[in-house]
Structure 1
C-alpha cells in the first residue's frame, strides 16, 4: 500500500476504542487537534451547493454512530422477486449493519416500490436507492418500459432526443423512489467482439459517445436524480466479461488519456454526479499484476480524483463480480476498494465482515477520521441533493400507469425515426416509389418475430410472403418479383446472440445473386460483420433492434413515409465506416405514430372504443373499423365486433367492407377531377355536352357545378331492380340467367347474371325521369351514375379499370376494388345484407346497392369495397391537394375548386362531389366541430370518411350496419355514433 494512502497516522498511545471493532457498540475516536488543523478544509472537497446543505450534512454526520458512518459506505443488492428469506436478510443488514443504500435488481415496479418503503422505514437515515437501468427500468423490472440500447441512440444526431430519454427515464426512476441510475455507459466500444459492453456503448467514436452521454446526463439529472458514468477507466476494448474474470486492457497511458478518458473529462465539467470504477487489469496505470482497477489507488485516487479532478461520488463496480472477487476474499476486497479511494462499495458479498475489516483498518490507522468523513459526508451531500433530507415514501396507487404513459411510445417513435440508418442505396431503390407495377416479395431470416414489420409493409402495398425449405426452390418462387425485401430478426433481449447463421448467410448470398434485394437488419450493427460482401445487395437498412416500433418505423422508411437520418455508430470491417448513413427522400405517404406525436391525447382518443363498442353492444352494427390520422400519421386504427351477430369471425383491420356511397369520392370523383384538371370539362360544362344522350331532354342544360352539388333537381333515386322482377318478386328470366353467357355476363350475385344491355335501360329511365319542381338541394345517386357513363365514354375504359390504373395501383390501395370476390377470399369480406327482396341470398362480396349490382357490381355511386387504411390514403391525397407519394394526381387549384361550396347562400352545403359540414342549426353528417373547409362523405351501409385541412385530420368509419337486413331502424345514424366518434377526435387535440 502506498504511503499516500495513509493521510493521518494515529498515535499508538491514544485510546481509540472503548471496545473492539467486533463489538456492537463503538466509541468514535477523536484525533488530535493538531492533525485536524493540518487537514484540507472539507468545504473545498465537497463543494456544497448551499449553506443549508452543509449544515444538514454536518448535523447528520455528527449524530451518526461509528457503525452508521461505516454503514453508509455500503450499497447492497436487493430483489423484489425473491421470497421472505431475502427480504428478512435485507432488513437485517439495514437494522444491524446500518447500510446506507440499496441497489435493486430483478422484480416488478409495484413490488419494488412496496419494498422500498418497507426498507426505508427500517433505516434511521434514509437510504440511497439505485438501479442499473441503462435502457430503462425494464432492464431489471417487468411491466416497465424498455428504451433503445445506447448503440441505437448513438445513431441519432439530434441530442435533444437523447436528452428526452434521460428526462423520461429520470421521471420514471423518481416515481419509483430511485435516486441513482448506473448509466450511461461511457466506454468507447472499439472492439466489436467485446462480450460485455458492445450495444451498451454509444459507439466507437469518442466525440459521439461524449455528446450522446452528455445529453442523457443532462436530461436525467434535470429531474433531480443522479447519473453514473461507467466503466472507468474504460471497458470498451476488452474480450473478457468482467462478471466472469478479470479483463486486461493493454493501452498506454497516452491512449487512455486521449480516448478512454475523453468523455469523463468533458462530462466532469458538465456536472456528472458519479463514476463507477470497473474491474480491469490495466498494466499501464496500475503496476500490481492482475490488480483490478477498482482497488487501485493509482487509478481511483491519483488519476480519477487528482489528475482528472473528479469531485463526485465514486462507486466500485459490483464487488461480487469475478473480476473483483477472484482477487481478494469478501471483506478484504471491500477494504482494498475503500483504501483505493472509492466512496461507495457496491454489492458486497459479506457486509458484516467488510465492516469489521474497515473498522480494524481504522483502529490500525490505515483509515483516518478525515478519510472516513470525506466519503460519508460526500454520500450525505448527495442524499440531500436527491431530497432525502425531506424523505417521503413512494406513493403506490396508480404507480404502474404513471411510469407506463403514452409519452414512452411517443418518444420511442421519434428515436427510431432518427436512428434507423440506410447504409446502401444503389440506384435509389429506397424509398420504393412506384407501386403500381412493382411486385414485391418478402423473405424472413432470423428466429425472432417479424409481425409488425410485415403488417406495416402490407399497409403500403401488396407484399407476398415467400418461404421454402430449399434455397433453389425459394429462388424459383422469387423469379417473378421485381423487388425482394429480406429482413433479419433476432431477439431484442440484451444478451441474445445476434449473428447470422451460416445457412442464413448462404441464403442471403443466393437470393441477392438473382434478385433485386433490400436487406433490413433488426439486430445490433455488429451482426453485419459476418456478411462477406454487400456488392450484390442493392439496399441495406440497419434498424438496430427488433422492437415493434422499430419494425413499424423501418417499414415507413422503406416506403418513404419518413426519410433516413441515422448514422452508423461503429465500423463494419471495410464495408461501412463509423458515421456512414445515407439520406433518403421523404415521400408524402401516410406514416404511423402515437397521438402525442401529432399533438393529440391518447387517453381522450381512447374514448372512441366506448362508442364503437356501444354500437356493437346495442346491435347497431355487427362490426366496426375506425381509423384516425393527423398530420400525415395514422394514430388510431382499430376493429371491433364480428362479421355477423353470430360472433364467429372477428373483424380485423385488413378486412374489407362495402363502403356504399363512399364510392362517389373514392372512385368516380377523382377521375372526374382529372378530367377537370386536364380542362376537358369545367364548372359550366353542360350535361348535354358531357353526354349527348341527354340532348333534347330537360336535363341537357344542367351545369357540371349543379350536377355535382346535388342542385340539378334530380330525384333521389329510382328502384331500377323492381322492373326486373317477375310476379313472385324474383329475378325475371327475361333479364337474368343463372349461368353466364355472352349476352348475360354481368354478375349480380351468386348464380345470377343480368343482361349486358340493361345499363341502357337505366340511363333511359334517368333521362326520362321527372325533375323536382323546385331548385333546391336534393341528394341523388343519378349524378354519379351519369358520371360513370361519362368517364367510360370519354376514356374508353371501364370505371373499375380506370380507377385502378389512375389511382389505386399507385396509391397502394390494394384492398380497394369493385367485385372483391375476383381478388379476395370472401372470409375477409364483411357480409352486407341478407337480401330477401331482390337477390334472395346473403350478400358477401356483392355490392348491396341494387343499381350498382345491376351494373355488374361497378357503379359510379356504389360498388367499392375497402378498409380504413386504404380509404385513408386517398383521403390524405385529397388533404394534400392532389399529391401523394410525391406523385401529382391533379393540381391544388382543382382540389380547391371541388372543395368549394358554391350554393351555400341558397342553403346547399355541398361541394363539388364532396359533402361538406352542415350549416349551424341544420342536420348534417358531422359533429359541429369540423371546420367549414372539411369534406367527406357517408354511406348507406354505415360508413363515413371525413378530412379536415385545418385540423389536418383524416377520419374513416366503416361498418355493415345493414346486416342482416336494411328494414331495421338506422340506429347507428339516429344515435349519432359516427359523429360522436368524430367529436372525440377533435376533443383529443391539444395543439
Structure 2
C-alpha cells in the first residue's frame, strides 16, 4: 500500500509497535500546525520557504549581513552550511534563527562527518572505505554518530548517504564518495546509514538522483551524460533508491545530469526535468518525501538558464527545496510572477511549502532553536567516535593478495624487516605500530641496494587523505615497487584510493602480499599494521575492482594469531572516564617526587587500551619518559625470564615439582639444602633466608670495593662487569653459590620470600641448555614474541638515553647506576641473574603476560602447554597461609597484606619489584596491568611508592573502570 506523506515523515520518529491511535493523533497535530502556519503566511513568505541558502562561517560580516537580509526580507526556509568552524557556525545559526519568524531548516554536506565542511570537528571514513566493511551494524552506528553530531550543532539534514553506484572508475567527482561499484554494496550500506541517522530523529538525503556513478564528467563544471536505457537504470542506478524508499527515506537530492532515457531534450538537466523529478521520482517511484535540487550554482545546471530562471524551472519540475540559489531575489520574483500568472497553481505551491513545514514540525522547529555553545567542540569530538573509527578501520582493511600466507608475519625471530615509505604523506603511525611487534629498519627509496640485507620488505604507500587529489603512483614509484618486488619478499600496504592500484597491475603480480588501507590516517595505519602482524584478522572486501585479477568482493580473510593488539578502553569494556583517573594518580606521584617517572599499561581482551608515560628520567626535566624507554624491572625478572625457562624445562619433562635442588645444582649436594624441592623453592617455602648481602663481604675497611676483588678495567682475571668502571674477580658467582649453600636453613618450612632460590635456578637452567640465561630467554621467548626491548645488559643494545637511571649509589659502586642492574647480587653476576637484571618497557612486559594469559600460546607458537601453566599458577600452599603460586605471586589471602588492590581474582598472578615495578594479569577479567618506575632514584631507602599504595591505587581504578 502506498504510504502517505505524513506517515513517511513520522516513520523515523516512531518506536516499533506504537498504537495506531497515537499515530493518528500525531498526524492530526502536525496537520493542524502546518495548516495554521501556512494560512498565516503571505505569498512572499510561502515562496521564501522553498529556498535553502548557502551559509559560510569562514566569511566576513558582509556575508552574515546578507544572510540576515535573506532571512528577514526573503523569509528563506533554510540554510545549507559550508566551510567554517563549529563555534562560528553555531553563533551564525543562533543569530539567524533568532531573527527568523519561522525557525530555519539546516542542512550540511557531511558525507564523512562534519569535518567535510568544518574545522575542529570529527571525520569518519569515506563511503568507499565503509564499502569494504562487512559488518553493517557498524555502518548504522556511523549514521547514529553523525546524527548525534548534527543534532548537537543544530543541523537537521545530512545530504547523504551518497547512493551513486560508482561503476566508472574514471568518475572525477564521486569516486570514494560512493560505497562501491555494485548496487548491493551501495544499497546495503546506504540503508544501514539511513536507519542509523534517522533513528536519531533527523533526516537522511539520498543523492545524486537518479545516479551519478557512470560518468567521467564533473557536474560542477559541465553536464554529465548518463547514456543508459531505462532497464539498466532500474536494474542498477535506481535500485538503491527503491530500497531506501520502502524503508522510509526522508529526502532525495536530484543531480544535474543529461538523462536521455527520461528527458529527451538534452538542454534540460535532470534537476530541471518534469519527466525526471515528477514523472519518474514522484509518480513512477512513488516517493513522497522532500526533494532537493543539487546546488543551483553548479555549472551543470547554471550553464543552461540564468539565475532566477533556473530556480523557477527547478520548482516547476517538481523539486520542493531549491538549494544554493545564485540569486534568491530574482528567483522569488520569477516564482511569484509564475504563480500570479497561474503557471504555478496554489495546490502546487502548497504541496511543497506544507511539506517543508511538516519537516520543520518533526524536528521541533515550532519554537526558536538555540544551540548551546558550551563544550561544543569537545562534544563534537568525543572519544566515543574514536571507538567507532577504530572498529571501522579494523574491519575495512583488505588483504587482496597473500602468497604463501605471508600475512600475518610469523616466526619473527627469522625475519629481518625493512620499511620503505612512498607517497607524499606521513607514515609514522604505521611505522610506530609495526615497531610494537618487532624491530623495523627504515630504508630510503633512494637506497634500495641496502635491502639485500633484509628478509622481508614492507612498502607503505602514503598519500594525502583528500578525496579530490590524484593518488596514482608516479612512474618513479612504480619502478621502485617493481625493483623491490623483483629482488625481495615484499608486502605493499597502500593507504590511498583503491583505484590507485589499477595503475600498477604489473607490479602487483611480483608482490608477495598486497593490503589495501584505503586512507592515510592514524586509524587506517594502525589497523593495517596490526593485521600485517596478526594482532587483528583481515576482514575487509574490495568494494570496487582494482585489476582484472582482483575485482570487487576480493578479500582474503585471516585470523588473529594471539599477538597483543591495540584498541580503545570502551571497545574492550572499560569506562575511559574512570580509567583517566590513572593520569591524576601518576601525576601525583611525579609531583610529590615519589618517583621521577613511570610507564603504565593496561590491556584487556588481548588489546592494549592504555599505554602512557609520565615524568622524566630523573627529577631534572631533561629527558621526558617515553613508552620506548627501558626500566630496571628488578624482581619481575623472576617471572619474565627465569620462570618461563623453568616452565619450558617442566613441559619438556626435564624436571618435576619433586626435583631436588641438590640434583639440579651440584653446589648444593651434601648440604642441608639438597632435598629442597622445586615446588618449595618456587613457592618460597624452602626455608632459605630472604637475602644475603653478598656485596658487603667484598668491601674494604672504608666500605669501598676491595682492590683484591675488583678492578676498574676489564682483564681476563677480572672479566665480570658490575658497573661502568667496576669489574669483579673471575668466578665470584661460584663464591656466591657457596655462600647460599652455607647459609642458615630454617628448621620449619614456612613462607619466606627469598631471592636465593631464583639465583640458584639460573645455574641449573644454563647447565641444562649450555647457554647463558640472557641468551636463552632471547632465543626461546623474546625474539619469537617480538619483545625486542626486553633484555639483560641493555647498554649492549640501546643508548643510555633510552634507559632510566636507578640510583645514585654511595654504598657500593659509588656511581650513578644507569643501564646496569640495580640489584647488587645480580650486578656481581655481571648483570645476568635469575632474580634480577632484566630491563624492558611496559609493552614488552605485557607481551610475556599475554603469553601467560594465553596459557603458553602467542603468535601461533605454543611455548609450553596449558596444563603446565595451570600447574605453575596454582596456589599450592594457600591452606598453610602461603599465597604464592609456583613462581608467580598471587593475591593476598583474606585478612593478610599483599601485593594487589584486593580486587583481583584468585586466579590472577604477577609480581612486584624493588625498583618500583609491578605487573599483574587476571584471567577472569582478561586483564593485564604493568607499572614501571625508578622510584629508587636518587635514593632507594625511602619507598613512598609502596607506603602510599600508588601501584595498588592504580590497579583499583582499572577494576573500577570495568563495565562489561
| Alignment TM-score, normalising by the size of structure 2 | 0.96
The structural deviation recorded for 1:690 is 2.1
Q: Does 1:798 align with 2:772?
A: yes
Q: 1:422 to 1:45 in 2, by over 3 A?
A: closer
Query: Structure 1, residues 789-816: CA drift from partner, whole Å, max 9, x if none?
Result: 1111222111011111110010110001
CA 45–109 in structure 1, closer or farther in 2 if over 3 Å, else same: closer
SS in structure 1 at match of 2:115: helix
Give the Å deviation of 1:390.
5.1
Aligned mate of 1:459, from 436, 453, 461:
436
The answer to whether the 8 A contact 2:434-2:529 is kept is yes
2 CA distance for matches of 1:475 and 1:549?
29
Corresponding residue of 2:554: 580
Q: Deviation of residue 773 (structure 1)?
A: 4.8
The equivalent of 1:916 in structure 2 is 890
Task: Please give the alpha-carbon distance, in whole angstroms, between the structure 2 residues aligned to 1:700 and 1:930.
Answer: 36
1:618-676 deviations in Å (ceiling 9; x for gaps): 11111111110001100000111111111111111111111111000000000001111
CA distance in 2, matches of 1:525, 1:512: 19
Q: Please say if 1:88 is aligned against 2:65.
A: yes
2:758 equivalent to 1:781: no
Q: Distance in 2 between the 1:44 and 1:739 partners?
A: 90
Report deviation, 1:83. Answer: 2.1
- Is 2:956 aligned against 1:990? no
1:263 matched to which residue of 2?
240
SS at match of 1:85: helix
Match of 1:243 among 213, 220, 229: 220
Equivalent residues in 2 for 1:381-396, closer than 5 Å? 381-389=358-366, 392-396=369-373
1:692 CA displacement = 3.1
Deviates more, 1:55-64 or 1:629-638: 55-64
Aligned equivalent of 1:34: none
**Equivalent residues in 2 for 1:334-733, closer than 5 Å:** 334-389=311-366, 392-469=369-446, 474-533=447-506, 534-733=508-707
- The separation in 2 between residues aligned to 1:610 and 1:43, in whole angstroms, is 53
Deviation at 1:711, TM superposition (A): 1.3
Gaps of 5+ in 1: 1-39
Q: What is the CA–CA distance in structure 2 between the aligned matches of 1:512 and 1:368, rounded to whole Å?
A: 69
Structure 2 unpaired stretches of 5+: 11-23
User: How far off its partner does 1:43 sit?
Assistant: 7.6
Query: Partner of 1:887 in structure 2?
Result: 861
1:445-464 Cα distance to aligned partner (Å, 9 max, x none): 01111111111100001111
* CA distance, structure 2, for counterparts of residue 890 and residue 914 of structure 1: 16
- Tell me, what secondary structure is at the counterpart of 1:531? helix
**Structure 1 residue 399: deviation in Å?**
2.4
884-893 or 218-227, larger mean C-alpha shift: 884-893
- The Cα of 1:869 is off from its aligned counterpart by 0.6
From 43, 68, 75, the counterpart of 2:52: 75
Q: State the partner residue of 2:782.
A: 808
Query: Matches of residues 64-143 of structure 1 in structure 2 within 5 Å?
Result: 64-143=41-120
SS of 1:818's equivalent in the other structure is: coil
Deviations 1:859-894 (A, max 9, x none): 100000100110000000101111111211111111
Q: CA RMSD in A?
A: 1.6
In structure 2, distance between residues paired with 1:178 and 1:272: 17
Structure 1 residues 705 and 43: alpha-carbon distance in aligned structure 2, compared to 1, 3 A threshold: closer
Asked if 2 retains the 8 angstrom alpha-carbon contact of 1:674 and 1:889, the reply is yes
- Deviation per CA, 1:79-138, whole angstroms, max 9, x where unpaired? 222222221111111111100111111122222223222211111111111111000111
Describe the SS at the equivalent of 2:80.
strand
Q: For the Cα contact (< 8 Å) 2:165–2:183, is it kept in 1?
A: yes
Name the CA shift for 1:128/1:44 in 2 (closer, same or farther; >3 Å): closer
Residues 920-977 of structure 1: per-residue CA shift (max 9 Å, x gap): 332221101111111101111111100011111101111111112223x111111111
- 1:143-164 Cα offsets, whole Å, 9 max, x none, are 1110000000001111111011
Question: For the Cα contact (< 8 Å) 1:484–1:516, is it kept in 2?
Answer: yes
* 2:934 matched residue in structure 1: 960
Question: SS at the partner of 2:464?
Answer: coil
State the alpha-carbon separation in 1 of the partners of residues 379 and 557 from structure 2: 37
Q: Secondary structure at the match of 2:599?
A: strand
Q: How far apart, in 2, do the equivalents of 1:44 and 1:941 lie?
A: 69
1:293 counterpart (250, 270, 279): 270
Checking the alignment, whether the CA contact within 8 Å between 1:429 and 1:539 is kept in structure 2 is yes
Q: Residue 910 of structure 2 contacts residue 921 of structure 2 at CA under 8 Å; is this kept in 1?
A: yes
2:527 and 2:717 map into 1 onto residues whose CA distance is 52
Q: Which whole-Å CA distance do the structure 2 matches of 1:45 and 1:505 have between them? A: 52
Question: Tell me, what secondary structure is at the counterpart of 1:103?
Answer: strand
Q: In 2, are the aligned partners of 1:42 and 1:374 still within 8 Å (CA)?
A: no
Q: Provide the rounded CA distance (Å) in 2 between the counterparts of 1:620 and 1:41.
A: 70
| Kept in 1: contact 2:79–2:105 (CA 8 A) | yes
Match of 1:223 in 2: 200
Q: Assess, with a 3 A threshold, how the Cα gap between structure 1 residues 278 and 837 changes in structure 2: closer, same or farther.
A: same
Distance (Å, rounded) in 2 between the aligned partners of 1:546 and 1:43: 44
Distance 1:209 1:650 in 2: 49
CA contact (8 A) 2:102 2:366 kept: no
CA distance in 1, matches of 2:914, 2:742: 26
Separation in 2 of the partners of 1:641 and 1:495?
43
- Is residue 739 from structure 1 mapped to residue 713 from structure 2 by the alignment? yes
Q: Would you say the 8 A contact 2:172–2:217 is kept in 1?
A: yes
Q: Distance in 2 between matches of 1:981 and 1:430?
A: 37
1:211 aligns with 2:185: no
- State how far apart, in whole Å, the 1-side matches of 2:360 and 2:9 are: 13
Cα deviation code 1:435-483 (max 9, x no counterpart): 11211111100111111111110000111111153xxxx2321101111
Q: Which residue of 173, 176, 186 corresponds with 1:199?
A: 176
1:158-198 deviation per Cα after TM superposition (whole angstroms, max 9, x unaligned): 11110111011111111111110000101010111111100
Rounded to whole Å, the distance in 2 between the matches of 1:46 and 1:678 is 71
Residue by residue, what CA displacement relative to the aligned partner does 1:31-51 show, whole Å, maximum 9, x if unpaired? xxxxxxxxx999899899622
Deviates more, 1:40-49 or 1:667-676: 40-49
How do 1:926-965 residues align onto structure 2 when only pairs under 5 Å count? 926-965=900-939
SS of equivalent residue, structure 2 residue 366: helix
Q: CA deviation at 1:727?
A: 2.5
Describe the shift of the 1:42–1:958 C-alpha distance in structure 2 as closer, same or farther (beyond 3 A): closer
Q: Distance in 1 between matches of 2:570 and 2:368?
A: 33
SS of structure 2 residue aligned to 1:809:
helix
Deviation at 1:254, TM superposition (A): 2.3
2:161 equivalent to 1:184: yes
Question: How many angstroms does 1:521 deviate by?
Answer: 0.4
- CA contact 1:406–1:596 (8 Å) conserved in 2: no
Q: Is the 8 A contact 1:46 1:311 kept in 2?
A: no
Q: Which moved more, 1:512-521 or 1:408-417?
A: 408-417
Tell me the matched-pair count: 947
Matches of 2:949 and 2:293, distance apart in 1: 65
